[in-house]
Structure 1
Amino acid sequence: MIAWRAGAAYPPAGPFVPVAGGRLATLQAGPERNARGTVVLIHGASANAADPMEGVGRLLAARGFRVIAFDRPGHGWSDRLGAATPAAQADRIAEALGSLDPGPVIVLGHSWGGAAALALALDHPERVSGLVLVAPVALPFPQRVALPWYWRLAAQPPVAWLLSRTLGPPLALYYLRGASAQAFRPQPPSEGYLERARVPLAVRPGALLSNVEDLIGLPAALERQSPRYGSLSVPVLIVSGDADPLVRIEAQAEPLAKRIPGARLLRLPGLGHMVPWVAGDRLAEAVADFLPEAASTR
């Protein structure tokens, strides 16, 4: 019933793009012709395409960009497609971009989506003209520190399947507002965030299970992916709040900027994790300023 109500309240709101084995859902905004450029948005954990689209995407569209936000595989209305790692999800997004044919794009990845954006640039460089990584999770971290024991237990296939279809949805729904407030710290949540970002879609069984798999598998995926960051040849802008309690700037953004040749770090004093919402105008301005640098790589 929880899943049905969430799906009925937030039905698909953009076109689907066929890929091998299924389809990816998108939200799209801005002009398709004579656009200043195309920006692809990749959301973080426990979210869907509406999160970055409503935070910063529509501000970019108002500035003349074509904006394409993807529901990552298994989230929102996208099929799971067996894609749990950043690299596997980047492969599906690259395939979808091949169908949409927007040319090389600026990829903006937030949080977990930063890892997927990096994988897209590493494995499909012909699709990417530049990266904007917002509060990115990109460097390895100790799994024992990042994820408590009950997450690891929940990730075991039989337990995860059972929890996602019994206790998981009502518990997730109960804690939804509090969890959103934690994500915004130290700022208060943006008005109407839960509805505008279509957050209740994340409490459905499939999305809950996908989210757990994504989080549990991320440390090992970053161990494999991060040694390649030095080979990136596209312009990279990293944007992070220095008061982010979830993805600390000194643990991720700062060392990441040193690993990627020519990467620039934009530090936002006093801001937390939800930069696309609490500083959407500043982020859209940074993307617009970044455009000439990205365009020169095409």
Structure 2
Amino acid sequence: MKLIAAAVGNHLAAKRTERRRPPAGRFVTVDGVRLHYQERGQGPTLVLIHGNGVSSEDYVLSGLFAELAQRYRVIAFDRPGFGYSERPRNRPWTAEDQARLLLGAMAALSAGEAVLVAHSWGTLVAMQAQLTAPKRIRGLVLMSGYYWPTVRLDAPLLGGPAIPALGDVMRFTASPLLGRLMMPLMFKQMFSPAKVPEHFRQGFASDMSLRPSQLRATAADTAMMPLEAGKLAPQLKAVVGPVLVMSGDGDKIVSCEHQSRRLARELLGGEIQVIEGAGHMVHHTAPQVVAEAVLGFLRQIAFDTGGGGERRADPEPRQLAEPLPA
């Protein structure tokens, strides 16, 4: 009876949360899946792809969405299962599957040729989209990404709600409570060595992330991440076009040295910007530095004018290092 009561309570709590926080954007249906997206601005299209456990609101909260929308048409999607996007259980949701769905949504919204800006788990989706439809992706901005598989303790710790049957019980009963208890520690780890910014502490919608539906998506993506990186790694040499890699030098979630720096070295013409004193959430810790780097990259590839934007393939990536503002 206690489990039933907890399940009913968490279900009702999720519904209350959704009433308090209605969708901020619009919806598009692709291949039978309803996706939520937020859109602002005019001009060439930038598509923002968020990481694990969050939604398109992550870019809104950081300020990056509004900053880029001053000069570009910016579309930020909720990936399947996050925010208000559906994640049907009768189909796989690998990075490639998610990429194909977002490409379909971009076509439905007449996005044309676009630059993808992605964070964390979203970088896997962005790179799969580029590999799937290289002529439609003008360039990539990859922040705090994970590109080669490693042993990860978070997979067994956070992947429970994705286990069939048992996971359903967990995400409707114990997982929301455990998530609330763990959240301060998770925030600290995500931002370390920087402090958790006040705008994030006050503005992050933790109640949305702890809904049973989003817990399942978060757990599934956590469990799949090493496998997805393993599938992508042999294909990295096939990534074409300009790429800007960004990372915090103190990232505790994915190693800057073994992931971002390595990727920039291996990609043809890859460039890297390492933000000193920042952790995994670079777009929140140093939003202006990130925005200026993205805008500079777009100018360099002539994305404002739709020009060719050919770039020199350096044997070693150019590194720009800027300290965090005081």
Taking structure 2 as the reference length, the TM-score comes to 0.84
Matches of residues 48-63 of structure 1 in structure 2 within 5 Å? 48-55=55-62, 56-62=64-70
| TM-superposition CA deviations, 1:177-236 (whole Å, max 9, x none) | 442233111222222325544342110001001111111112112211121111111100
Aligned to 2:321: none
Gaps of 5+ in 2: 1-11, 310-326
1:94 and 2:103 are equivalent in the alignment: yes
Q: Could you tell me which amino acid in structure 1 is paired with residue 68 of structure 2?
A: L
Task: Give the 3 Å change call, closer, same or farther, for CA 83–76 of structure 1 in structure 2.
Answer: farther
2:264 aligned with 1:257: yes
* Amino acid corresponding to residue 259 of structure 2 in structure 1: Q
The answer to whether the 8 A contact 2:156-2:223 is kept is no
Tell me which of 161, 165, 175 is aligned to 2:182.
175
Partner in structure 2 of residue 129 of structure 1: 138
Partner AA of 1:118 in structure 2: M
**Amino acid of the structure 2 residue aligned with 1:25:** H
Q: Is the 8 A contact 2:159 2:220 kept in 1?
A: no
Secondary structure of 1:182's match?
Answer: helix
Q: Does 1:138 align with 2:147?
A: yes
**How far 1:154 moved relative to its partner?**
4.6
Bigger mean CA deviation after superposition, 181-190 or 87-96: 181-190
1:24 matched to 2:32? The reply is: no
| Residue of structure 2 in register with 1:165 after alignment | 172
Question: CA–CA distance in 1 between the matches of 2:212 and 2:26?
Answer: 23
Per-residue CA deviations over 1:125-163 (Å, capped at 9, x if unaligned) read 232110000011122223xx3435444555421111110
Bigger mean CA offset, 200-209 vs 2-11: 2-11
Aligned to 1:70: 77
> Over residues 20-62 of structure 1, what are the superposed CA-to-partner deviations in whole Å (9 max), with x where a residue is unaligned?
122110111223xxx2x22111111110001023311111113
Structure 1: distance between partners of 2:238 and 2:277? 32
Paired residue for 1:85?
94
Return the alpha-carbon distance in structure 1 between the equivalents of residues 283 and 15 of structure 2: 29
* TM-score, with structure 1 as normaliser: 0.91
> For residues 39 and 91 of structure 1, do their structure 2 counterparts lie closer, same or farther at Cα, with a shift above 3 Å needed?
same
1:291 equivalent to 2:298? Answer: yes
Q: Which of structure 1's runs of 4+ aligned residues deviate more than 6 A?
A: none
Corresponding residue number in structure 1 for 2:52: 45
RMSD: 1.8
Q: Percent identity?
A: 32
Secondary structure of 2:24's counterpart equals coil
Change (3 A) 1:195 1:294: farther
Paired position in structure 2 for 1:208: 215
In 2 relative to 1, CA 83–290 (structure 1 residues): closer, same or farther, beyond 3 Å?
farther
**Higher alpha-carbon Rg:** 2
Deviation at 1:240, TM superposition (A): 0.5
TM-superposed deviation, 1:9: 2.2
Q: What's the offset of the Cα at 1:3?
A: 0.9
Measure, in 2, the Cα distance between the counterparts of 1:3 and 1:95: 29
Residues in 1 aligned to 2:58 and 2:107: alpha-carbon distance in whole angstroms? 24
Q: Is this contact kept in 2: 1:243–1:269, CA < 8 A?
A: yes
State the SS of the aligned residue for 2:101: helix
Larger RCO of the pair (alpha carbons < 8 Å, separation 6+): 1
Q: Counterpart in 1 of 2:8?
A: none
Shift of 1:68: 0.7
For the residues of structure 2 that align with 1:108 and 1:246, how far apart are their CA atoms? 19
* Count of matched residue pairs: 291
Q: Residues 169 and 152 (structure 1 numbering): CA distance in 2 closer, same or farther, change over 3 Å? A: closer
